[in-house]
């Protein structure tokens, strides 16, 4: 791969190639000598002192889309380097011609276009020859000559681009702060710059082992809580997973980062209590996956070989609000309506983590949604809490139904025998 000096090396190669072409074709002698420069157009001398000149200007650099999406991400979720992919860029040039005498500009322009047409690829031999000229070029810095441009994987391709229209051309040369001259626009692709930082290399593979597993992996159709139809998944529930090919070698059920073995397993149904998982599952919308394992490695270790697609599971929080958890700090009457200001503390299961999205909805005499405190009130040093305090201001006195929403999933409401919602109540 190339070093970061490769951009300057490309310009140096183009300058050398064009100068050699003008000499070989006799164009330089025909116009009485010509120079090839590389720099911004505003630095070129124009007017009465204008000489015969072709100026190459690297006006723009863009990231090559192919190399930008090639290979794995350079960093993992923890931010560690896992790959050292090169930076692939495309170079966009503006080549302008200058001449004091009539037709000189057209002569140089024609030979410039011919050189670009006859040199669609900068070969490795041409790059090496241009970066190691004989006699040596005093204007070529040693790091540019040693940029390893000829050793990069991709060859450099030259593509002549269409010139911009009148309005865009006017804006371009206004940005150059230079008098307009006839120009050719062309691109050079792709320059690969090797990163200086290295990636974390994996350890070599010591041995290769094989195992067998049924090619028909588990397929999950639905997940519900054990009980009557419509029973929400709450703390203490048993999950019932239905589908096909569910039972298999070392069947495991994964919900988020938590895993468990089913209490009962058949080809069409798995049952597992939430209490059987190896870590607490936070409330909210979670993905459930069924996996089958096969023993691999030395010594043989179970490894997940087949898995189902993730199926969403709405894990509902449950809350209780004791009368003592509702504290009214002040009251006032506005237009005959008694308004309360204070706080209500909710006890919730499962425990809520500091990063979860939590709100408390109160529905009754009036309706409001109360945001949770910063970090959901989790104490410093702790990861979660089962008590959250919500402050309210100027709520009409009365009885409200409380629903806690955690990561988009609401706590269930209780009902009486007639189906009317009755709680959990909050009395202000």
| pLDDT tens digits, one per residue of 92-128 | 999 999 998 889 999 999 999 999 999 999 999 999 9
Burial of 362 per CB tally in 10 Å (0-12, 13-18, 19+): buried
**302 and 229 belong to one structural domain:** yes
Band (73; pLDDT cuts 50, 70, 90): low
**227 and 117 belong to one structural domain:** no
pLDDT at 171 (0 to 100): 87
Tens of pLDDT along 318-331? 999 999 999 999 99
Cβ(96)–Cβ(179) below 8 Å: no
Q: Is the pLDDT of residue 199 over 60?
A: no
**40 and 135 belong to one structural domain:** yes
Cβ(241)–Cβ(272) below 8 Å: yes
Q: Which DSSP helix (H) or strand (E) runs through 168?
A: helix 166-176
Identify whether 213 is part of a domain. no
pLDDT at 264 (0 to 100): 94
User: Average pLDDT of the chain?
Assistant: 89
3-state SS assignment for residue 384: strand
pLDDT at 126 (0 to 100): 93
Identify whether 207 is part of a domain. no
**289 and 363 belong to one structural domain:** no
> Which of 276, 297, 315 is a domain's end point?
315
Burial of 191-201, coded b for 16+ CB within 10 Å and e otherwise, reads bbbbeeeeeee
Q: Is the pLDDT of residue 265 over 60?
A: yes
* Nearest Cα to Cα of residue 22 among 14, 34, 32, 12: 34
Q: For residues 416 and 201, which has the higher predicted lDDT (pLDDT)?
A: 416
Residue 226 preceded by cis peptide, ω within 30: no
**364 and 230 belong to one structural domain:** no
Domain that holds residue 71: 5-193
**307 and 329 belong to one structural domain:** no
**16 and 144 belong to one structural domain:** yes
Share of the chain above pLDDT 90, in %: 66
Cβ(153)–Cβ(71) below 8 Å: no
* Nearest Cα to Cα of residue 56 among 102, 103, 115: 115
Q: Is the pLDDT of residue 207 over 90?
A: no
Band (357; pLDDT cuts 50, 70, 90): very high
Mean pLDDT of 191-209: 73
Identify whether 169 is part of a domain. yes
Estimate the crossing angle of helix 124-131 against helix 6-24, to 10 degrees.
Answer: 90
C-alpha distances in angstroms, 157 versus 90, 119, 124, 362? Answer: 10, 9, 12, 66
C-alpha distances in angstroms, 105 versus 108, 109, 110, 184, 343? Answer: 5, 6, 9, 12, 82
pLDDT at 172 (0 to 100): 87
**158 and 240 belong to one structural domain:** no
Identify whether 200 is part of a domain. no
**87 and 178 belong to one structural domain:** yes
* Nearest Cα to Cα of residue 35 among 187, 116, 50: 50
> Which of 144, 159, 193 is a domain's end point?
193
Band (312; pLDDT cuts 50, 70, 90): very high
Mean pLDDT of 47-73: 87
DSSP state of 2: B
Cβ(2)–Cβ(152) below 8 Å: yes
pLDDT at 352 (0 to 100): 94
Cα 414 to Cα 232: distance, rounded to the nearest angstrom:
12
pLDDT at 324 (0 to 100): 93
What is 294-313 written as a DSSP string? EEETTTTEEEEEEEPPPEEE
pLDDT at 412 (0 to 100): 93
Mean pLDDT of 290-318: 85
Identify whether 212 is part of a domain. no
**187 and 68 belong to one structural domain:** yes
pLDDT at 200 (0 to 100): 60
**286 and 310 belong to one structural domain:** yes
Share of the chain above pLDDT 70, in %: 93
Cα 313 to Cα 233: distance, rounded to the nearest angstrom:
8
Identify whether 112 is part of a domain. yes
Identify whether 203 is part of a domain. no
pLDDT at 6 (0 to 100): 93
pLDDT at 224 (0 to 100): 93
Query: What's the CATH number where 341 sits?
Result: 2.60.40
Q: Is the pLDDT of residue 428 over 60?
A: yes
Q: How many domains does the chain have?
A: 3
> Which of 315, 342, 372 is a domain's end point?
315
Identify whether 339 is part of a domain. yes
Residue 220 structure tokens: 């999950």
Cα 217 to Cα 243: distance, rounded to the nearest angstrom:
11
Q: What CA dihedral angle connects 353, 354, 356 and 357, to 10 degrees? A: 140
Burial of 59-76, coded b for 16+ CB within 10 Å and e otherwise, reads beeeebeebeeeeeeeee
């Amino acid at each position: 791969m190339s070093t970061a000096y490769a951009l300057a090396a490309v310009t140096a190669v183009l300058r050398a190639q064009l100068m050699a072409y003008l000499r070989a074709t006799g164009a330089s002698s025909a116009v009485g000598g010509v120079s090839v420069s590389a720099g911004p157009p505003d630095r070129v001398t124009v007017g009465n002192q204008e000489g015969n000149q072709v100026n190459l200007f690297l006006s723009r650099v863009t990231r090559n889309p192919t190399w930008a999406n090639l290979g794995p991400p350079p960093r993992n979720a923890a931010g560690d380097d896992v790959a050292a992919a090169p930076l692939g860029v495309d170079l966009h040039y503006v080549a302008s011609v200058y001449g004091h005498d009539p037709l000189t500009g057209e002569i140089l322009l024609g030979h410039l276009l011919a050189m670009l047409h006859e040199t669609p690829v900068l070969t490795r031999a041409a790059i090496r020859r241009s970066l190691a000229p004989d006699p040596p070029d005093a204007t070529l810095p040693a790091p540019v000559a040693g940029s390893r441009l000829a050793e990069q994987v991709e060859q450099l391709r030259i593509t002549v681009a269409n010139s911009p229209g009148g309005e865009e051309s006017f804006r371009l040369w206004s940005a150059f702060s230079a008098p307009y001259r006839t120009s050719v626009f062309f691109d050079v692709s792709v320059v690969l710059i090797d990163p200086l930082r290295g990636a974390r290399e994996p350890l070599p593979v010591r041995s290769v082992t094989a195992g067998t597993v049924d090619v028909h992996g588990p397929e999950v159709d639905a997940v519900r809580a054990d009980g009557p139809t419509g029973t929400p998944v709450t703390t203490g529930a048993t999950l019932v997973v239905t589908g096909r090919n569910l039972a298999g070698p070392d069947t495991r059920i994964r919900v988020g980062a938590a895993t468990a073995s089913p209490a009962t397993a058949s080809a069409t149904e798995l049952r597992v209590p939430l209490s059987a998982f190896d870590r607490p599952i936070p409330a909210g919308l979670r993905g459930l996956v069924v996996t089958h394992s096969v023993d691999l490695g030395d010594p043989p270790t179970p490894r997940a070989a087949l898995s189902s697609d993730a199926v969403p599971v709405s894990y509902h929080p449950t809350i209780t609000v004791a009368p003592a958890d509702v504290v009214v700090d002040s009251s006032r009457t506005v237009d005959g309506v008694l308004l309360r200001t204070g706080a209500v503390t909710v006890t919730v299961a499962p425990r809520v983590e500091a990063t979860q999205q939590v709100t408390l909805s109160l529905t009754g005499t009036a309706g409001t949604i109360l945001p949770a405190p910063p970090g959901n009130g989790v104490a410093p040093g702790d990861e979660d809490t089962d008590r959250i305090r919500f402050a309210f201001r100027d709520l009409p006195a009365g009885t409200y139904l409380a629903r806690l929403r955690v990561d988009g999933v609401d706590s269930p409401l209780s009902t009486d025998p007639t189906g009317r919602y009755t709680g959990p109540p909050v009395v202000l």
